[in-house]
Structure 1
Amino acid sequence: MRSRASIREYEVLRAVITAGTVTAAAYKLGVSQPAVSRMLAQLEANMGVILFERRGSRLRPTAEALRLNDNLDRLFDALAYLNGTDPGDPVSQPLRLAAPPTLTHRFLGHCVASFMKLHPGQMISLETCTSNDLVDRLVDDRLDLGFTLAEATHSAMELIPFHRSLAVCVMAPDHPLARHDVITPDLLHDQDHINLTRRFMVRTRLDQVFRKAGVRTRPVAEVGTAVSALTLARAGVGFSVLCPFPVLQPDDPTLAIRPFRPEFIYSASFAVSTIRPQSRPARAFMRHVQMAVRSDPHALTDFAPLPAEDAAAEMI
């Protein structure tokens, strides 16, 4: 007959899922590392399942651990009530979001505002950071949900695409390139080029396209955001090939916007943790974003996002 697991063992489970390592969990709980390891081993023995897989210095929860953790929500919610706190109070549980500046200022701000109207009282923290910083924030449990246009990979982070669009070429309306309906690499040979900095993976992809076509553009500027590239293009500095989402309006009279061939795709993705489950507000916000991008004119129509259920139902 199996022994019953203790509440303390369940606390250890949740702490290790959240912290990712036994050392960090022990610090969070205020106990020794051997004590955490011992209680975790006892819980696995009591449950008869493996709860964590070791990935380098980190512990990754198994499907059984995540299911058990989900089932423990009611237990720890009840304990929180007994201790005088309300875990369902949005003010006490802010939804922590982070994204690069372009996504934050040109897209997420509007999504946050409309989401808060649907869910009055839901506290939201929205910060800007680089796509590389998203990994550290997810690992350290400083972030519930991230957003990125990058194609970064990390064992502690999963990217879930919610929007895809094709690259476009932009320039001033009176630029010589504007007379073409479609821009191909051969048309850009020896043209003034506003490029993204080399830290962007899409810059590497574009360089490969030009190299394969035997095309050499004339670099006149390197910028860190698509917004900066558009500003320079409007001023007639040169052309730029970039992602239209979320910075371009199709009817912008200050720019000539042309399809770029050969086609390559930009993906905007949710960045979620692989070492802890998503909160209900985070899942609701993901569905809210999916609804918001449905009407975007740059979205590929053959791209099927995750099922967009009623976001309000997710918060109940």
Structure 2
Amino acid sequence: MLFERRGGRLRPTAEAVQLNGRLDRLFDALAYLDGTDPSDPVSQPLRLAAPPTLGHRFLASAMATFMKQNPSQMISLETCTSNGLVSRLVDDTIDLGFTLAELTHSAMELIPFHRTFAVCVMASDHPLARHKVITPEILHGEDQIALMRRHMVRTRLDQVFARAGVRPRIVAEVATGVSAITLARHGVGVAVICPFPLLRHHEPDLAIRPFAPEFVYRASFAVSTVRPLSKPARAFMRHVQLVVKSERILTTESWAAQ
């Protein structure tokens, strides 16, 4: 048995995963029959796409280390919205996408490679910095920097505040976490954001506190459900997973200890 149905979708079994690891030679042979050489980087460029935050703050460095290990591999990286990943996968203009959004589409599957939790960022001298953990109740009536309403995560956060019966005062709406951090650093207000990949080290001019209740973000590979992954794409996915494990990414406990 290679597949089993879970929640209305087919999922590979352990036997299928094991078999898939042995199929590279078969796909290489098929590529030769098709007139391409899988060992030739020109014949198999790796096409990536990601939203700006992941593309500039994480993927660019992962690409650099991957290309040093594979100097003949051609890679292209374009930035787009997370929603734009779907159309690019459907149109076969990319091999692999990256997202922090919880996207759903019949032609796309998300494979998580990193999980992190929301944090609250503010200037280091902000009055709320005295708290070790920030809850919705603490933010009631406080100046808040929020993501634009078009972001799905904004809706999720608004629901967290509504369930707690509190209403922060929105003083600014921004499109990216980078902008939210910049405004928070200048004392405009506080922001509840995903720390990955923006905050991986100590920031002396920022107070970074865990946000409770836990608000989960998942960084995921976005892959096509109708086309098999190319050999370079599979290799790059393995590389990204190793990079995440090897980098110094702060945990919830680390934020509280700052």
TM-score by length of 1: 0.70
User: Which deviations, in whole Å up to 9, do the C-alpha atoms of 1:55-109 show, x marking residues without a partner?
Assistant: xxxxxxxxxxxx9x974641441451xxxx5342112321000000000000000
> What secondary structure sits across from 1:185 in the alignment?
coil
Corresponding residue SS for 2:113: strand
Pair 1:241-2:192 in alignment = yes
**CA apart distance, 1:270:** 0.1
Q: Aligned partners of 2:27 and 2:48: how far apart in 1?
A: 25
Q: Does 1:297 align with 2:249?
A: yes
Amino acid at match of 2:51: P
Larger Rg, first or second structure (1 or 2): 1
Question: Cα gap change, 1:134/1:300 in structure 2, threshold over 3 Å: closer, same or farther?
Answer: farther
Structure 1 segments unaligned to the other structure (5+ residues):
1-66, 302-316
How many aligned positions are there? 235
- Determine if contact 2:121/2:184 at 8 Å carries over to the other structure: yes
* Cross-structure match for 1:90: 41
**SS of 1:236 mapped into structure 2:** coil
Cα distance between partner residues in 1 of 2:178 and 2:27: 45
Larger displacement relative to structure 2 (205-214 or 96-105)? 205-214
Give the aligned partner of residue 282 of structure 1. Answer: 233
TM alignment of 1:194-209, pairs within 5 A: 194-209=145-160
Query: What is the CA–CA distance in structure 2 between the aligned matches of 1:104 and 1:74, rounded to whole Å?
Result: 33
- Taking structure 2 as the reference length, the TM-score comes to 0.85
Partner of 1:12: none
Deviation at 1:205, TM superposition (A): 1.2
In the alignment, does 2:25 pair up with 1:74? no
Amino acid of the structure 1 residue aligned with 2:233: A
Equivalent pair of 2:51/2:82 in contact (CA under 8 Å) = yes
**Structure 2 gap segments, 5+ residues each:** 1-19, 254-258
- Per-residue CA deviations over 1:31-51 (Å, capped at 9, x if unaligned) read xxxxxxxxxxxxxxxxxxxxx
Q: Is the 8 A contact 2:37 2:43 kept in 1?
A: yes
Residue by residue over 1:111-164, the C-alpha shift from the partner in whole angstroms, topping out at 9 and shown as x without a partner, is 000000000110000110111111111111100000000001000000000000
1:245/1:298 contact within 8 Å kept: no
Match of 2:83 in 1: 132
Contact 1:159–1:271 (8 Å) recurs in 2: yes
CA RMSD of aligned residues (A): 2.4
How far apart, CA to CA, are the structure 2 residues paired with 1:237 and 1:113? 35
Q: State the partner residue of 1:115.
A: 66
Pair 1:143 & 2:87 matched: no
C-alpha distance in 2 between matches for 1:232 and 1:279: 41
Is 1:272 aligned to 2:223, yes or no? yes
Which letter does structure 1 place at the counterpart of 2:210?
P
CA shift for structure 1 position 214: 1.0
Structure 1 residues 213-224: aligned runs within 5 Å: 213-224=164-175
Looking at structure 1, the residues matched to 85 and 216 of structure 2 have their Cα atoms a distance apart, in angstroms, of 22
For residue 142 of structure 1, what is the amino acid of its counterpart?
Answer: T
Of Structure 1 and Structure 2, the greater strand share is in: 2
Closer, same or farther: CA 263–75 of 1 in aligned 2, 3 Å: closer
4+ residue segments displaced more than 3 Å = 69-73, 298-301
Offset at 1:249?
3.1
Query: What amino acid maps onto 2:114 in structure 1?
Result: H
Q: Per the alignment, in what secondary structure is the counterpart of residue 270 of structure 1?
A: strand
Q: Distance in 1 between matches of 2:124 and 2:186?
A: 10
The structure showing larger relative contact order (alpha-carbon pairs under 8 Å, at least 6 residues apart) is: 2
1:153 counterpart = 2:104: yes
Secondary structure of the residue aligned to 1:187 is: coil
* Other-structure match for 1:226: 177
> Are residues 300 and 219 of structure 1, via their aligned partners in 2, closer, same or farther at CA, if it must alter by over 3 Å?
closer
Tell me what 1:251 maps to: 202
Query: Distance between the aligned counterparts of 2:30 and 2:232, measured in 1?
Result: 19
Q: Is the 8 A contact 1:250 1:257 kept in 2?
A: no
